[in-house]
């Protein structure tokens, strides 16, 4: 299995769930692209300028996962393509189930 086909790792953490992201800013659409070496690859139209791409990432994930924007927080990599987000209010199993419902393979760790 190549790295691109590895499922998204969903990690249980204190106060929520953590996901690693690979973000493509300045894309054609706001959309989830799928697994990328254990991370969730996504694309946002917003440019990486003054936090606009991070705001778009939060909006996209909140909508895709069916949670409020206040439940999604970029906790690492704010100025990078590789980010870590925390999602509160969902268990790791539930978050993985919601990703899988969106057609994205996920694996729970921790």
d(Cα 44, Cα 34) in Å, to the nearest integer? Answer: 13
- pTM for the predicted model, two decimal places: 0.92
- The pLDDT assigned to 9 comes to 96
* Residue range 54-70, pLDDT digits in tens: 999 999 999 999 999 99
Residue 14: is its pLDDT beyond 90? no
Distance CA 19, CA 38 (A): 9
What integer pLDDT is reported at residue 3 of this predicted model? 46
| Structural domain range at position 11 | 3-109
The DSSP output letter for 110 is -
User: Looking at residue 53, which CATH number applies to its domain?
Assistant: 3.30.1200.10
pLDDT in tens, 80-107: 999 999 999 999 999 999 999 999 999 9
CA–CA distance, 24 with 17 (Å, rounded to integer):
22
Q: Which stretch of DSSP H or E encloses residue 95?
A: helix 92-101
Report how many domains make up the chain. Answer: 1
DSSP 83: E
Distance CA 84, CA 82 (A): 7
pLDDT tens digits for range 19-37? 999 999 999 999 999 999 9
């Amino acid at each position: 299995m190549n790295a691109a086909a590895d499922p998204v790792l969903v990690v249980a953490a204190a106060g929520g769930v953590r996901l690693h992201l690979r973000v493509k800013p300045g894309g054609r659409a706001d959309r989830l692209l799928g697994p990328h070496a254990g991370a969730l690859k996504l694309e946002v139209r917003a440019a990486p300028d003054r936090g606009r791409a991070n705001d778009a990432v939060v909006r996209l994930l909140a909508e895709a996962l069916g949670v409020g924007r206040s439940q999604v927080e970029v906790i690492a990599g704010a100025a990078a393509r590789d980010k870590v987000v925390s999602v509160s209010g969902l268990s790791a199993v539930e978050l993985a189930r919601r990703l899988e419902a969106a057609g994205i393979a996920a694996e729970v760790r921790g």
